[in-house]
A and B are shown apart, each in its own frame.
Chain A
Amino acid sequence: AALNDGLRSQVSAALKEGRVAPTELCQRCLALIKSTKFLNAYITVAEETALKQAEESEERYKRGQPLSILDGIPIAVKDNFNTAGIETTCASNMLKGYISPYNATVVQKLLDQGAVLLGKTNLDEFAMGSGSTDGVFGPVRNPWSYSKQYKEKSVPKSHSEDEESNWVITGGSSGGSAAAVSSFTCFAALGSDTGGSTRNPAAHCGVVGLKPTYGLISRHGLIPLVNSMDVPGILTRCVDDAAVLLGSLAGHDPKDSTTIQDDFKPFELPNLTDVSKLSIGIPKEYHAPGLSSEILALWSKAADLFKNAGAKVVEVSLPHTPYSIVCYHVLCTAEVASNMARFDGLEYGHRSDVKDSTESMYAATRREGFNDVVRGRILSGNYFLLKQNYEKYFVKAQKVRRLIANDFVKVFRSGVDILLTPTTLSDAAPYTEFIQEDNRTRSAQDDILTQAANMAGLPAISVPTALSERGLPVGLQFIGRSFQEKQLLTVAKWFEKQVQFPVIQLEEVKRHDSDVFQHQKSASFS
Chain B
Amino acid sequence: QRVSVEVLEHLEHLALVDFRDAEGVERLQKAIQFADQLHEVNTDGVEPMDSVLEDRCLYLREDDVTEGNCTKELLENAREKVEEYFVAPPGNIPLPKLEERETFLQGS
Contact = CB atoms under 8 A, between A and B. Distances in A.
Interface of A: 98-99, 101, 214-215, 228, 252, 254, 257-261, 320, 323, 326-327, 329-330, 333, 337, 344-349, 351, 354-363, 366-367, 370, 372, 375-376, 378-380, 382-384, 386, 392-393, 395-403, 405, 438, 440, 444, 456-457, 482
Interface in B62-95: 70, 73-74, 76-80, 86, 88-91, 93-95
Nearest to B39: A396
B89 A356 contact: yes
21 contacts: A214-B53, A257-B59, A258-B51, A344-B16, A349-B77, A359-B93, A363-B12, A366-B17, A367-B18, A376-B27, A376-B28, A379-B15, A379-B24, A380-B28, A393-B35, A396-B38, A398-B48, A398-B50, A399-B49, A440-B34, A457-B52
B27 to A, nearest CB: 5
Contacts of A370: 17
Nearest to A320: B41
Nearest to A326: B37
B15 A403 contact: no
B53 A348 contact: no
A484 to B, nearest CB: 14
Contacts of B96: 360
A440 B90 contact: no
Contacts of B16: 344, 359, 362-363, 366
A361 B95 contact: no
A519 to B, nearest CB: 22
B46 A259 contact: no
A124 B79 CA distance: 26
Interface residues of B, number: 57
B31 A260 contact: no
A101 B68 CA distance: 12
Contacts of B77: 98-99, 101, 347-349
A488 to B, nearest CB: 16
B32 A101 contact: no
Nearest to A438: B27
B52 A214 contact: yes
Given A214-B53, A358-B89, A345 B34 contact: no
A361 to B, nearest CB: 5
Contact of B47 (A358, A362, A402): A402
B11 A330 contact: no
Contacts of B51: 228, 258
